[in-house]
Structure 1
Amino acid sequence: MPLSLFRSLARARRRGNLNPPAEWLRLQTREAEMLRWSVKVLGNDLVQRHYAAGLAGPAVALPEAPASAGLTSRTCRQADIEGPWVRHWCRALGTTPFYHRKLWEDCYILQVLWEAGLLAPGRRAIGFAVGEEPLPAILASHGVEVLATDIAAEDMRAQDWIATGQHGAGTDRLFRPHLSDRAAFDRLVSFRSADMAELPEALLDGSRDIVWSACSMEHLGSHEAGLAFVETAMRCLRPGGVAVHTTELNLDPEASTPDRGSTVLFQRRHLEALAARLAARGHRMLPLDDRHPIGVMDQFVDVPPFEEGRVPLGPISPPHLRLSIAGYPATSVGIVVVAGQRVP
């Protein structure tokens, strides 16, 4: 037991306020929850002030035309949420800019593909673990032919995703009526089951222009399984095609990191190793920009519970660009890989 904790417990016992250590620990737990709540309240106030200043939120204008940002592989950051490229893609997503890394992931994938000139009729895309993402509908609205995939519903690994409404089983939940009519959507979007840990050989035919996945490779059971997925999925692409994936990055490069289980956290060293593996097969991963930004939202680390409304005094929305995963500071990172000539 730390000395400060021992002294605090001893003082409480002398005052007669507490009986056994278990009671004292229950008190500490309750107060820790109140501190957690207080931090979230302050974070929510910070967000609302930024909205009122017109930096993000519902009053922000959403540009009709995209703007180049010169994106490479990159970590999520406050300046992106407040920038014109995220604002533009919020229009297609049917939302307003808010400080959440999942919004950043969708916008990042779309911006990378637009900058690569791939959001155009005649292009072919395949998405992995799509769940109910809006990306298939947005790509189709640009004339892209899309094959959306997710793990089979009867697979036991799918049960948690089904329970939380994050599993895909067809195209019905992918359709977005504000983007196109259903007939046009159905002409371009199809669905099939696919296990990211063991991609079907039929998909590895080098016929696609686009491969994407959003925050999925960290759920394959290990670092190696996630990296192997990215490497194997390159076989879906023709030369010059682009793969863009988002995943979880441990912001402490020197710390230990979860390397097995339902969610693993990658570090820079893992992505550097991936870049080398891809280069050995003739592909090119764009450089990783993981500089720590200076925005106040980039310093705020959200803590569980993350679901709005699961709080004692009402729903709030603190910043969620950084978060604690298993006690490690983490954020979303996007990686971009350009396919070279196929190397067996």
Structure 2
Amino acid sequence: MAAADPRSRHPAGQLISLLRRLARWRRRHRTLPLIGDTRLRSERESLLLRWNVKVLGAELAQRHYAMGLAGPAAPVPPGPVQAGLTSRTCRQGDIESDWLRHWSHILGVVPAYHRKLWEDCFVLQALWEAGMLAPGRRGLGFAVGREALPAILAAQGVEVVATDLDARDARAQDWIETGQHNDAAEALYRPGLLPRAEFDRLVSFRPADMARIPGELCRGGFDMVWSVCALEHLGSLQRGMDFVLSAMRCLRPGGVAVHTTEFNLDAEGGTLRRGSTVLYQRQHLEALAARLAAEGHRMLPLDDGQGDGMLDRFVDLSPRHEESPPLGLIFPPHLRLSIRGYPVTSAGILVVAGGG
């Protein structure tokens, strides 16, 4: 018989399961010296603290959903709504806005307090406001994985070239194992958005390395380029910024680039500068804007306000793959996340190509 979905278990049962795992760990290491007991206590306290954060966060989110501010009860506007976006950081007010509710509906998901949903909606809203979601436009997506964005753009008549790292590249292995990699257009099709024949006519896929964009893509033939949560994984802050500059060569004059990335809300403290995930701060995005301006492009001003909602103050903890959501299908808010102790959110960057 198949195992029951862990999300359906009672919260108290999940907590008991967590403590049982710790007990098994202790039995396996009962011969350790005293330091082993200290380590066990520390591990227990860490897991219980994580549990408390998740439970309290889920309760906060549930109260907001019950008020209809987001979630399944939130009203859906009849169409897209102007928001006047510039480069900006994610915040609670965006999740509760009409513009995000519209794109969340198009994506086929409820407007949840999750920054990854915000990233997809930010890209779509920015492209719509720039007049890019129209027949005859051409778009280029980087590290698309299994995003719905190519299908949504195609449903608006946009011709899309979707790219991702070659599956034979060793760097793609982690993304393949977590189901976030793609090596064909097939995984991008969404039957509820447009007929298959139309999708096949408008969407194509090809492997491409963001760190070395193929020359044939850099001939200014696209009206828009985008990437979602990708440039921070190129190995360093510098490499991510180099990618943004390189991708501008793919655009026609007046074209639009939209990228989202990890943003460290602690502007004065340290950050992660190298590694599998780096964290940008305001100073780095200001330096990027200066580099873009030197090449004749214009990055729209960064609004990095932290928001004034209660959920803007809640910092989630990284999930552990063996842990179940604490309250069934109710997830804690995920607008802010602690990454190695740094308070992180998502930021969206908007750039207009020079010459337009």
Equivalent position to 2:96, from 82, 86, 95: 82
- How do residues 243-282 of structure 1 correspond to structure 2 at under 5 angstroms? 243-282=257-296
Equivalent residue letter for 1:244: V
SS in 2 for 1:68: coil
Cα pair 1:213 1:244 within 8 Å, conserved = yes
| C-alpha RMSD of matched pairs (Å) | 1.7
Equivalent position to 2:78, from 64, 82, 104: 64
Distance 1:133 1:31 in 2: 37
Cα pair 1:206 1:236 within 8 Å, conserved = yes
Corresponding residue of 2:164: 150
Cα pair 1:40 1:316 within 8 Å, conserved = no
Equivalent residue letter for 1:324: S
Corresponding residue of 2:12: none
Distance 1:309 1:90 in 2: 27
Corresponding residue of 1:205: 219
Cα pair 2:53 2:317 within 8 Å, conserved = no
SS in 2 for 1:98: coil
Deviations 1:145-177 (A, max 9, x none): 000000000000000000001001111110011
Gaps of 5+ in 2: 1-32
Deviations 1:37-80 (A, max 9, x none): 01110110111111110100011222231010000000000000
Equivalent residue letter for 2:249: R
Equivalent position to 1:224, from 238, 242, 254: 238
Equivalent residue letter for 2:134: A
Corresponding residue of 1:49: 63
Distance 2:325 2:49 in 1: 12
Equivalent residue letter for 1:156: A
Is 1:175 the counterpart of 2:194? The answer is: no
Corresponding residue of 1:331: 345
Distance 1:100 1:329 in 2: 15
Corresponding residue of 1:123: 137
The alignment's TM-score, normalised by the length of structure 2, stands at 0.88
Corresponding residue of 1:3: none
- How do residues 129-148 of structure 1 correspond to structure 2 at under 5 angstroms? 129-148=143-162
Gaps of 5+ in 1: 1-18
Query: What is the CA-CA distance between 1:307 and the residue it aligns to?
Result: 5.8
Corresponding residue of 1:234: 248
The alignment's TM-score, normalised by the length of structure 1, stands at 0.91
SS in 1 for 2:220: coil
- Identity of paired residues, percent? 65
Is 1:110 the counterpart of 2:132? The answer is: no
Query: What is the CA-CA distance between 1:90 and the residue it aligns to?
Result: 1.1
Q: 1:136 to 1:315 in 2, by over 3 A?
A: same
Distance 2:322 2:249 in 1: 40
Is 1:24 the counterpart of 2:38? The answer is: yes
Corresponding residue of 1:10: none
Cα pair 2:316 2:337 within 8 Å, conserved = yes
Distance 1:109 1:233 in 2: 16
Query: What is the CA-CA distance between 1:314 and the residue it aligns to?
Result: 5.5
Distance 1:50 1:309 in 2: 24
Cα pair 1:308 1:316 within 8 Å, conserved = no
Question: Number of residues paired by the alignment?
Answer: 325
Distance 1:90 1:306 in 2: 26
Higher relative contact order (CA 8 A, sep 6+): 2
Cα pair 2:55 2:327 within 8 Å, conserved = no
Distance 1:69 1:306 in 2: 36
Cα pair 1:132 1:166 within 8 Å, conserved = yes
Corresponding residue of 1:12: none
Distance 1:315 1:58 in 2: 13
Deviations 1:175-226 (A, max 9, x none): 0111001001111000000000111111000010000000000000001100
Deviations 1:59-107 (A, max 9, x none): 1222231010000000000000000000000111001100000000000
